[in-house]
Structure formats: C-alpha cells, structure tokens
Chains A and B, each alone.
Chain A
Amino acid sequence: MRRGSWRSALWLVLGAGYFLVPLLATAQFSLKVTRESYGLDAYRRILADPLFRESLLFSFRLAVYTIVLALALLVPTAYWVHLKLPRLRPAIEFLSVLPFVVPPIVLVVGLLRGFRWTPNWFYGGYLILVAGYVVLAFPYAYRALDAGLRALDIHTLTEAAQSLGANWTTVLLRVIIPNLRTALLSAAFLTLAIVMGEFTMGVLMQFTTFAVYINYVGETQATGAAALSLISFGITWLAMLGILLVGRRIGGRQVQIGGTH
C-alpha cells in the first residue's frame, strides 16, 4: 500500500513537470529582451499592435455568434428529443459526434467546395465561418445540454407549466431554460474556448482570427508569440474556470472534453 502510493505520487510529479515546465518556460521566454536582460517589451509591442485588438475582438465576436446560433439550434432540439422523441436520441447523438469523424480541416475543405456557388455575402464573409464553428461546437454543447436535461424531470416541469396555461414558448423560455442555466453556461464557455483558439478553419478561409494572428506574429518575433500563447492559455483557463464556478455555484454535473487542434 505504502509503496503503491509512493509510486502514484511519482507519476503525478513527473506529469506535473511535463505540463508545467512549458508554461513556465513560455512565461520566462516572453519576458526576454536580449540574451541576458528581461522586460515587458514583447507585451508592450503586442498591445501597441492594432491587429492584436482587432483579431481578438473578431474571434470574440465569432464566438458570441457561434454560441447564440448553437444554443438556439440545440436547446429546443435537445429538449424536444428528451420530451417527445426519445427514440430519436441515438440519431441526434450520432450527428453530434460526427464532427469527430469530420475534423476541422476536412470540414473547411468541404465547406469551401460545397458552397462555392453561394453569393459573396455568404461565401466571402464570416457567416460561412460561423456556420462551420457551430458544427465544431455541436458535440461539446450537446453533451453539456444532454447532461443538464438528464438531471431534470422535464416531463413534470412541462406538464406543471402547461397545466398553469403556459404555451410552448413560455415553457421553454421561462421554465426549461432557467433550470438549465448551468448546462447552458457550460456549453457557452466550452464553445468560447474552442472558437477563441480556432486556427484551421480561420486560416484556410483567409480570416485573421486570434490564432491566425498568433501564428503570423510567430513568423517574425518569437517573444511576441510566447506572450500571445500565454494570453491564449489564460483565455482557455478562464473559460474552464467559468464552467467550474457555475457548476459549483448552482450545482450539477460538470462536462468537459477536448477541443480542436
């Protein structure tokens, strides 16, 4: 028993080293000015770059659109399937895991091929990017909502609301959604983390998303890229912390799984 827990601790320490050293090294690297001296030059340069603010805000805007569209599509569907069409659940779940089989690079090639005939306001604008991001968000958002709905007695809630005279819109907006807020926030934070770090679809559609900007900076200045990587890690960390906090405050099951690479 003793020997076992000593070995367990060793694995955890080794793992912690592997995961923490790159983060600490990135922090130190981002503060490098010359070989010997340290300072905040890299951060100052980035903050002075208008493209930094632009790309960050652009990615944030994409994230907000993606969250709104994904939730508007998934919340009524997930609720309806739980309530009325439980036999359809495997089909919906299958569609929700399909993005694992169609990774971002394949999806973006398919979108660019399939929608070439569409007008320029769609094909040339960022709407097609949002359309793709919604698909990327499906599995994560759906799992979060599914877990939330499983924890609720939606049949009783729906019947109670209806017997008091509520119509479907009222049931959904004033009964189901308030009860689902942990799941909704989890889904939103996960989607935020995914979109804020997304590179593949952005670069192939020739948009300067935040990750595309980081890559662009990395081609010319290494310390700037390190600083931006740290900022990006901070954003992911905040999003995950958000999930943890809403989960703890309101109670309910936590949902997380990997993102896009």
Chain B
Amino acid sequence: MRAPLRRRSLAWLGVIPFFLYAVGFLLYPSASLVAGAFQDEEGNLTLSLVRDLLTRGARQAFWTSIKISLVTAVLGGLFGLLMAHAAVSRGMPRWVRTVLTTFSGVAANFAGVPLAFAFVSTLGITGIVTQFLKDSVEIDLYGSGFSLYTFFGLSLVYLYFQIPLMILVITPALDGLRHEWQEAAANLGASPAQYWRHVALPVLLPSLLGAAVLLFGNSFGAYATAAALTSGQLPLVTVLIGQVKTGNVISDPHFGDALALGMVVILTVTMGLYALLQRRAARWQR
C-alpha cells in the first residue's frame, strides 16, 4: 500500500518544472493584467479603467476587431473549405494536395510585417498590380474608392493567413468523409446538392464551426499585420493597446491592461465555445 503511493507522489514531481514555467510566464502575467486593470498609476484601486472600456473609442475598437474577425473567419473558412475540398476531391492528382498543404503551412506562418509590405508592394498606391491596372487596363483602383488601408483592404490581407489555416485544420475532417457515403446517397437517388445538405454538411458541421472559432481567435489577436499596414489608422483593439503601451496615445498605461483583459475575456468565451464544439465533433466521428 505504501510503495505505490510513494511512487505516485514522485511521478508528479516530473512535471513540476513545466507547470512552474507555465504558471510563472503565462498564468501570472495574465493574472497581473487583472491587477493592472483595476489600479491607477499610483496603485490605488479603481474601477475607472474598466469604465473606460465602455467609452466610445474602446467600444469602437472592440467592435472593429470583432467585425474583422467575423468577416475573415467566415470568408477564410469558406474559401479554405472550397480549396481544401477541391484538392482532396477524387479527380485531383495527389501532388496537388501535397503542394497545397505545404504551401498552407508556409503561408499560415508568413504573416505580420512582411505580409503587410507584400500587399503594399502589390495593391498599395504605387503597387505593381495597382499600376498595372491603371496603365494597361485603365482601371484606377484608388480613384474608384478602393484602398488597402481600410477595413476592406485589411480583410483582404488577413485572408492570406486565414485561408491557409482553414486548409490545414479542415483537410483531416474532409478525409473523414467516405466516398462510400456519396455513392450510397447517389444509389438512393440523391442529387449532389442533397448529399451535401443531408450527409456531408451535418457530419462536417462541428468541425467547420470549430475551425471558424479558431480563425476568429487567430485574427482577433493579430497585431503586427494591422500595425505595419495601417500605422494605427484602423482602430483595432490590438492596435489601440500598442498605441497606449508605446506612448503614441496619451493615456494611462493601465488602460492598456484593461483593454488586454477585455481581449482575454472575449477569447476565453470563444475558446469555451470551441471546446464545446470539439466535443460534439468527436461524438459525430465515433
């Protein structure tokens, strides 16, 4: 009775370094955000910073961030699904799929500052495509209202890492769709549309929703791309935090903590949703 007990208590020791590290450099900093958000510069307890979250500027920043995350999660999810589905469909040669997933691995990691400048070189005011359209086809993008430095432009850039992420997470789920199901449905007289409506989509739905939540969080936390592209003209929460913390906006630095805490709350709710959907997805796949 004694020996197994002691061995078990020793086994626990093995994971202590990792837990200490996670507590020290992940949980503790997150917790000190809470402390920071409820204090003013003199260290007095205050609710004013949390109240500041409800001011117009902060509310607008959260709303813009949520909006761009929703838009790029839905569009990125849709295009990612279409491309992944095209690559795993039966007529496609195997190399198409290898190339697509490999490139997605690169593109999902190629983000932030270089991505922003790649799009400036392409669709900025003097960008190659902008110039080409103007000189050769006589389409003046910027004259007709397009700008890379707007909500629409930034969404276009975000899709460059959202679509590949979707391809990476949804390809395994698409592999789970068996060809026999499609054949069985066809034998029973179902059209391709009916097969999708009544068989494929219900099976895929939990994975699709889970992937969309992941994409939402992915774009909600993004800072570098927006900071480099719009130099803070587009008010996202992350950009606002950056401005407060680098002193580009005159404000109590503790306000940055309150904004960051607000982000954690929203992302925690999102992640909770994700966990819930994953559990349902697992149930379907059994």
Contact = CB atoms under 8 A, between A and B. Distances in A.
Nearest to B254: A113
B118 A106 contact: no
Interface in B10-69: 11-12, 14-15, 17-19, 21-22, 25-26, 28-33, 35-36
A260 interface: yes
B25 A229 contact: no
Nearest to B91: A5
A148 interface: no
Contacts of A15: 79, 83, 163
A30 to B, nearest CB: 7
Contact count band on B: 35 or more
Given A77-B14, A84-B14, A101-B217, A226 B118 contact: yes
A85 B14 contact: yes
A229 to B, nearest CB: 4
A214 B113 contact: yes
A258 B161 contact: yes
Contacts of A5: 89-92
B223 interface: yes
Interface string A99-110: 111111111011
B173 interface: no
Contacts of B228: 199, 214-215, 218
A151 interface: no
A106 to B, nearest CB: 4
Interface residues of A, number: 87
A222 B113 contact: no
Interface of B: 11-12, 14-15, 17-19, 21-22, 25-26, 28-33, 35-36, 79, 82-83, 85-87, 89-92, 96, 100, 102-103, 105-124, 126-129, 159-161, 163-165, 168-169, 192, 214, 217-225, 227-228, 238, 241-242, 245-246, 256-257, 260, 263-264, 267-268, 270-271
18 contacts: A8-B91, A19-B160, A25-B128, A29-B128, A85-B11, A97-B271, A102-B264, A103-B267, A104-B223, A106-B264, A110-B29, A110-B33, A134-B21, A135-B25, A204-B242, A218-B113, A236-B109, A257-B165
